[in-house]
Structure 1
Amino acid sequence: MGIDHWLMTIPPLTVYLAVGLVVGIESLGIPLPGEVVLVSAALLSSRAELDVSPLWVALAALVGAVVGDSIGYLVGRRYGISLLEWAGRRFPKHFGPSHLELAERAFARWGVLTVVIGRFIAILRILAGPLAGALKMPYRKFMPANVLGGVLWTAGTVTAIYFLGIVAETWLKRFSYVGLAVALIVGATVGIMVRRRVTGMLEAPPPEESAPAS
């Protein structure tokens, strides 16, 4: 059985549930490849014969992101920084001191905007909800940022990947894999540069405050 035939046997509802569940668990604070699953589902939606709707993929991811982040917020508010420090000792690869410090710097610099920006950065996507709760960010500020970040991330990712999938299929018919490979490399390079820039901004020491005039 070829891969195309196998893909056609997957019910669209299964795709939506998988996207919502994985993105939700990642947003809760448990490291799962939420972005990979979202991108994969968006690519499937670009195949008309699979009957996977890009709109439902985006909505499933949005619900998972908002609900997962909200639960993570409540957990962080209940147990505080000590829970994240405990997780760092148990799972240093994902919650080590450097990760926590990076997330705390993001909140110190950008405040509630970190919840929005964090959707696009793997470390912050996992830690933003629990850390916002642990830092006692008011929920009335957290929730709108949570929804806005979720909308921008899910709609932006699904739209971009959906049209990329359609264009890629057209290119493969008219040209070759070389053109597609070049496009993917350029896109990946731009994405990496943007993420490194954001990470560099966070890792840089904060500007020293001016000394008060005597």
Structure 2
Amino acid sequence: MIDTLLAFVPTYGLWLIFACVALSCLAVPIPSSMLVMAAGGFSAAGDFAYWSLVLFSFSGFLLGDQMAFLLARGAGAPLITRFQARPRFGKVILKAQRLLEQYGAFAVILTRTIFGPIGPYVAYVSGALKTPWVRFAPASAFGAFLWCVGYSALGYVFTGHIEELAQLISSSVGIVVAGTSTLALAGWLIGNYLRALRVQQRGE
């Protein structure tokens, strides 16, 4: 599927990435992390600005995440019951519930970085269990920002080795490695930006 999606990037550009990321946040099986990482390689090649990739992917993530939360909030606990009744979703919903019980809002951040595949279900569970929006939204936005910056930066920095990265991330160990790399790269980029901002302010 990723090859098909990438073939459409030259035609539909960043709007395709926006739509794919939003749909993946609704638990539609789209390899959005691989797509954003590959798009980071396109950005390094000069096809579009890196900041625009982050902006479009981040906007799509926010839209999809909020839609999942609000849809589940409207449906309530019966939605989770229906999910649990299906073999495909029962275990992942249980994992999402346990993470929320154990870590609260921090689980939202974790499942948008290190444990990304569970992310959509945490959004659904959070909404269905009536988690206050003011607790969910900031954690969701922060985790989404780390995810978008991290995966796009992986593609940007390691362009030419994206296929190897994709194979690594497809394994369970790779998911943790990629999540950790996402956090590290995002922290590095944010730190550099803040240092540059301080230097600029001192110069003024």
TM-score, reference length from structure 2? 0.72
Q: Percent identity?
A: 24
Quote the residue 2:137 is aligned against: 143
CA displacement, residues 79-132 of structure 1 (integer Å, 9 cap, x when unaligned): 123223324545x43x2x111111111101111111111112243222121111
Contact 2:108 2:140 in 1 (8 A): yes
Q: 2:99 aligns with which of 96, 106, 109?
A: 106
CA displacement, residues 56-82 of structure 1 (integer Å, 9 cap, x when unaligned): 111111001111111111111111232
Quote the residue 1:177 is aligned against: none
**1:127-166 equivalence runs, <5 A:** 127-165=121-159
The amino acid that maps onto 1:10 is P
Separation in 2, partners of 1:147, 1:9: 25
Quote the residue 2:62 is aligned against: 66
Query: CA 1:105 to 1:44, structure 2 compared with 1: closer, same or farther past 3 Å?
Result: same
**1:172-183 equivalence runs, <5 A:** none
Aligned residue for 2:67, secondary structure, equals helix
Query: CA 1:109 to 1:32, structure 2 compared with 1: closer, same or farther past 3 Å?
Result: same
Separation in 2, partners of 1:137, 1:117: 17
Q: Which runs of 5+ in 2 are unaligned?
A: 1-5, 180-204
Quote the residue 1:119 is aligned against: 112
Contact 1:99 1:123 in 2 (8 A): no
Contact 1:29 1:129 in 2 (8 A): no
Q: Which runs of 5+ in 1 are unaligned?
A: 1-5, 169-179, 197-214
The amino acid that maps onto 1:106 is L
Contact 1:80 1:135 in 2 (8 A): yes
Contact 2:83 2:93 in 1 (8 A): no
Per mean C-alpha deviation after superposition, the further-off stretch among 133-142 and 75-84 is 75-84
TM-score, reference length from structure 1? 0.69
Contact 1:103 1:123 in 2 (8 A): no
Quote the residue 2:31 is aligned against: 33
RMSD across aligned positions (CA)? 3.2
Query: CA 1:192 to 1:62, structure 2 compared with 1: closer, same or farther past 3 Å?
Result: closer
Separation in 1, partners of 2:84, 2:123: 16
**CA displacement at 1:155 relative to structure 2:** 0.8
Q: Which has the larger radius of gyration?
A: 1
The amino acid that maps onto 1:54 is Y
